[in-house]
Structure 1
Amino acid sequence: MAEVTILFLRACLALLAMPIYLLSFLGIWQPFCRKVFFPFFSDKCSAYHQKKVKKHKQELFRNLPDFTSPSGELKLLEIGTGCGMNFQFYPPGCKVTCTDINPNFQQSLLKNLSKNQHLQYEGFLVAAGEDLHQVPSSSVDAVVCTLVLCSVSNITGTLREVLRVLRPGGAFYFLEHVAADRSSWNYFWQQVCHPTWKLLFDGCCITREAWKNLEEANFSELKLRHIKVELPCPPITPHIIGYAVK
C-alpha cells in the first residue's frame, strides 16, 4: 500500500512540474539548469544553509592544521567547491585547489575568494569527483567535500579517488545531507520527492545512505556522526558530518 501511495504522489508532483519534465525531454532544461538556474539557486541557498551549519563547520575544520605536511604546507583539494562557502574555515596559508563539474560556479567562487585573502588559491579544475586524473596521487594533505556526494554519479568511485590523491595520513572532510531513517515519515517524503527533486537540482539525490559508503571505504580511521540541520525543507534535514584518515 505504501509503495502505491508513493507512486501516486510522485505522479502528482511530476504533474505539477510538467513544464520542467517537458523541457528536459526536449534537451533544454539540463543546459539551462547548469548554466543559470543551479548556480543562482546554490548561491542563494548556500548562504542560508551556511548560517545553519556554521557552528558544525567550525567544529569540523578545527583540527585541519593537524594534517599539515612535514614540509609545513597544507595542500587542500575541495571537490565540488560550488560557491566556495568553506573558504572562511580554512587556516591561513592553506593552498587550495578547487574542482567542480560545473564551470559556471567560477564567478561566485572567485567572489568568495576575494573575501578570503588568508588562502593561497592554486586554481580551478573542471572535474567530476569520480575522475580527478588531473590531480597527482598522494599529492594533497586534505580533501573536502560538502553537499556533493548527493549528486556524484558514483560515491564509491569518488571515495576511491579521494584515497588516491590523499597522502598517507591525510584526511577527508565531509558534510552531506543523507537519507532519513527508513521508518520515518521524512523518508517516506524523500521517496515521493526523489525523482522530481533530482531533475530540478542537477542530479541531487535525497535518498542516499552515504555513511555506508564511507564505512566500507578503505580509510584507516573514520569519525562520523549523524546530525539534523534545522532547514525549512524536511527532506534535506538529515546530515552526516565528520572526517576520515587515509
Structure 2
Amino acid sequence: MDVLVLLLQLLMLLLTLPLHLMALLGFWQPLCKSYFPYLMAMLADNANRKMESKKRELFGQIKELMRTSGKVALLDLGCGTGANFQFYPPGCRVTCLDPNPHFEKFLTKSMAENRHLRYERFVVAPGEDMKQVADGSMDVVVCTLVLCSVQSPKRVLQEVQRVLRPGGVLFFWEHVAYPRGSWAFMWQQVFEPTWKHIGDGCCLTRETWKDLEDAQFSEIQMERQPPPLKWLPVGPHIMGKAVK
C-alpha cells in the first residue's frame, strides 16, 4: 500500500502543480492567510448547524465552573472566526488567540452578535508560544479544529497546561486520522500534502488523541464521532475535556 500511496501522491502533485509551485516560491502562504478566514467562516456555519447539540452539551459544562464567582476566564485557542462564541454561557471573559491577524474583523462581528460574553483581547500568536497569556490565568481553554494545523501539538498542550489554573479545563473538538491500514487512511495520506496548503497547515493523519493522553492531564473524557462534513477529506472527530 505504501507504493500505491506514493504513486497517488505523485499524481495529486501533478494535478495541483501550480499550487505547490506557488508554495515553494513563497507566494501561496500570504494568499492563504488572507482567504482562509473567509473559507472558515463559510464552513463554520455549516459545521455548527450539524454539531449544535453536541457543542451545547460540551460547552454547557462551563457553567459548572461558574458556581463560585459567576464568571470564567476563557482562552479561545485558535479562535478563528469566533464560531464557538454562541455556545459559551454568559459570564465568560474571553481572550482570543490566533496566529492569523486576518481573523480579527470576523471576531469583531462575532462579538457584536454575542453580547452575553465579555471580550478581553485578541492575541496574535501561535499556540506553541502563548507568552502573552500569564501562568495559571485561565479557568478554561477551548481548542477546536486547531491541533491538526499547529507545528507541535505537544508544545501547544504544554502551553495549555501552563496557562490553566489548577483544576482548569481544556475543552477540545478535533478531527483525527482514520485507523491505520484502512482505505480511508490511505486516501488521507494521498490528499494530505495538497490539503496542508489549502487548509493553512492542516494535517489529515494526526492521531491527536495520543497527544492528549500523553499530556499528563489529571483526567480526560473523550468520545469519537463521525465527521460532520462528509464531503471533506477530514476524518472522524474526537470531542471531550481534559482537567489539569
Provide the TM-score with structure 2 as the length reference: 0.96
Q: Which amino acid aligns with 2:208?
A: A
Equivalent residues in 2 for 1:1-246 (5 A)? 2-35=1-34, 37-68=35-66, 70-233=68-231, 235-246=233-244
The separation in 2 between residues aligned to 1:183 and 1:84, in whole angstroms, is: 36
CA contact (8 A) 1:82 1:100 kept: yes
More deviation in 81-90 or 19-28? 19-28
The separation in 1 between residues aligned to 2:28 and 2:233, in whole angstroms, is: 23
The separation in 1 between residues aligned to 2:116 and 2:92, in whole angstroms, is: 8
CA separation of 1:147/1:71 partners in 2, compared to 1, >3 Å: closer, same or farther?
same
CA contact (8 A) 2:188 2:204 kept: yes
More deviation in 14-23 or 94-103? 14-23
Instruction: Report how far residue 70 of structure 1 moved.
Output: 4.3
More deviation in 165-174 or 13-22? 13-22
Q: Alignment partner of 1:233: what SS?
A: coil
Q: Which amino acid aligns with 1:57?
A: K
1:23-72 CA deviation, whole Å, 9 max, x = no partner?
1122110011102x211211111211222211111111121111238443
The separation in 2 between residues aligned to 1:149 and 1:42, in whole angstroms, is: 15
Q: Which amino acid aligns with 1:242?
A: G
Instruction: Report how far residue 229 of structure 1 moved.
Output: 2.4
Q: Which amino acid aligns with 1:88?
A: Q
Q: Alignment partner of 1:236: what SS?
A: coil
CA contact (8 A) 1:150 1:176 kept: yes
Structure 2 unaligned runs (5+)?
none
Instruction: Report how far residue 234 of structure 1 moved.
Output: 5.2
CA contact (8 A) 1:67 1:169 kept: no
CA contact (8 A) 2:70 2:91 kept: no
Instruction: Report how far residue 186 of structure 1 moved.
Output: 1.1
Q: Which amino acid aligns with 1:92?
A: P
Q: Alignment partner of 2:120: what SS?
A: strand
Instruction: Report how far residue 237 of structure 1 moved.
Output: 3.5
**RMSD between aligned alpha carbons?**
1.2
CA separation of 1:146/1:25 partners in 2, compared to 1, >3 Å: closer, same or farther?
same
How many residue pairs get aligned? The number is 244
Structure 1 unaligned runs (5+)?
none
Q: Alignment partner of 1:124: what SS?
A: strand
CA contact (8 A) 2:80 2:98 kept: yes
Q: Alignment partner of 2:233: what SS?
A: helix
Q: Which amino acid aligns with 1:7?
A: L
Provide the TM-score with structure 1 as the length reference: 0.96
1:91-150 CA deviation, whole Å, 9 max, x = no partner?
112100000000001111111111100000001000111111001101110000000000
